[in-house]
Structure 1
């Protein structure tokens, strides 16, 4: 039996007001979320998080909804009034990547400093984002792809060095909860593998992600000191895949990785 839609209070926030209006116009037009997604370049899960006030959206989303739902530009006008030129809570250079994550069949991720955003708990993300509620909400909304029912979640292969487990983000309680979550997170769609400290590998050049789409296309995203860069050329993808494979060969299997995470909780983060 489907869950009832989340109750929104439009006066609570701009996100609540915008989400409630998207839902209202969609229902008035007699569209389901899936039917609307079939006519605009956004997935059902993304429409859902916007309607539930869990994420910002770019103005183009409002424009597409206006055209399909025949709102006479009401949603675009509302978006302008509520958000101005702020398209969402992501920086400009990252804005397209969450859509790639939504569409991916497989994601390969290497994060050398902190736990990757798709697996961060809210308290951990809050410490990294200095309590910025909009940025935190946007990061949490990205994680919906890992628990969705339709389509199936992407296959996520996450590799991290052991030193990530030692880096204090938010204090002992936050770290203990975050690592406990990691230790039990692996399943048939998600593998978490830790590279033991001291293992030699080419993973000291920053975070990167490789997405394989259902049609076989591959897109990558690599972080640098000041911004991230999306890549889709064959040479760039090949180079990052070679690097990922070289790092992954030094990683422990998922069960031993979980044991190492649990051991780290006891040794470092339990008083």
Structure 2
């Protein structure tokens, strides 16, 4: 039996509002997602992601939907109002995630390429973001949740391969400061654990973050080369939780991880 469509709350975000309107006009026109996809140059999976507020779309998507669904340009007009000139340092498809981070009781992160964004120094972030001041400020602002007093910060469990400590982002000075930031960030509510080089686990494919909300809801964020995707389907969450646990079994304990990071600073990033 097919799952019912994800319930949206249009007041939650611009993506929720736009997705709910696409779905409403599609249903009013008596089109299934597959039938709509057959008439516009977008896949059923992409249309579904837009409707579930998991993906941003370009204005051309709204224009194609308007034509097929005979909405008299309602979706294009809505797209202009919601997304036309909006800028806050985040790409549109990421804008919901900082709110999820703020509301989370626990964040479990696996990041195999670079240091996790909530723990980046300004210079490290600046190198990765090509000195885009707006994007840098937005990333640093997200980090406020780790030092807030009320409500208490989320419990953050951060796993990373040892090779992330070796990747040169910005040169020795930047790397020394960044790795010291990792060491200094450790607290009763924040752990950093390193998977030694050569550890075998099933998640070398890429980054993912699991957020557990106070009400028991679980949401994942998975970046791709094109955009990030938010997931809340039970099967997806279960699969990612299994992967995280499998990686966790290969990670060094917290204190041994800190010792390894300090050795890497002294041995690899001398200035």
Give the TM-score normalised by structure 1. 0.69
C-alpha distance in structure 2 between counterparts of 1:105 and 1:207, whole Å: 20
Q: Which residue of 1 aligns with 2:161?
A: 161
Cα distance change, pair 141–217 in 1 and its aligned pair in 2 (3 A)? same
Q: Which residue of 1 aligns with 2:128?
A: 128
C-alpha distance in structure 2 between counterparts of 1:183 and 1:202, whole Å: 26
Please list the CA deviations of residues 156-188 of structure 1 after superposition, one character each: whole Å capped at 9, or x if unmatched.
000000000000001000000000111222111
Q: Which residue of 2 aligns with 1:98?
A: 98
C-alpha distance in structure 1 between counterparts of 2:85 and 2:153, whole Å: 32
Q: Which residue of 1 aligns with 2:268?
A: 268
Q: Which residue of 2 aligns with 1:170?
A: 170
SS in 1 for 2:140: helix
Alignment of 1:175-190 (within 5 A): 175-190=175-190
Q: Which residue of 2 aligns with 1:238?
A: 238
SS in 1 for 2:250: coil
Deviation at 1:87, TM superposition (A): 3.5
C-alpha distance in structure 2 between counterparts of 1:203 and 1:112, whole Å: 9
C-alpha distance in structure 2 between counterparts of 1:86 and 1:213, whole Å: 27
Please list the CA deviations of residues 41-87 of structure 1 after superposition, one character each: whole Å capped at 9, or x if unmatched.
79xxxxxxxxxxxxxxxxxxxxxxxxxxxxxxxxxxxxx9xx96124
Bigger Cα Rg: 2
Q: Are 2:251 and 1:251 aligned?
A: yes
Please list the CA deviations of residues 95-138 of structure 1 after superposition, one character each: whole Å capped at 9, or x if unmatched.
11000000000000000000000000000000000000000000
Q: Which residue of 2 aligns with 1:10?
A: none
Equivalent residues of 1:172, 1:270 under 8 A apart: yes
C-alpha distance in structure 1 between counterparts of 2:243 and 2:225, whole Å: 19
Q: Which residue of 2 aligns with 1:142?
A: 142
Equivalent residues of 1:218, 1:232 under 8 A apart: yes
C-alpha distance in structure 2 between counterparts of 1:136 and 1:211, whole Å: 23
Equivalent residues of 1:184, 1:258 under 8 A apart: no
C-alpha distance in structure 2 between counterparts of 1:246 and 1:140, whole Å: 30
C-alpha distance in structure 2 between counterparts of 1:252 and 1:238, whole Å: 24
Equivalent residues of 1:201, 1:250 under 8 A apart: yes
C-alpha distance in structure 2 between counterparts of 1:84 and 1:231, whole Å: 26
Q: Which residue of 1 aligns with 2:16?
A: none
C-alpha distance in structure 1 between counterparts of 2:234 and 2:12, whole Å: 25
Unaligned runs of 5+ in 1: 1-39, 43-79
Deviation at 1:204, TM superposition (A): 1.0
Give the TM-score normalised by structure 2. 0.69
Q: Which residue of 2 aligns with 1:191?
A: 191
C-alpha distance in structure 2 between counterparts of 1:247 and 1:149, whole Å: 31
Alignment of 1:23-34 (within 5 A): none
RMSD: 1.7
Count of residue pairs the alignment pairs up: 193
Deviation at 1:206, TM superposition (A): 0.9
C-alpha distance in structure 1 between counterparts of 2:86 and 2:163, whole Å: 36
Unaligned runs of 5+ in 2: 1-10, 14-79
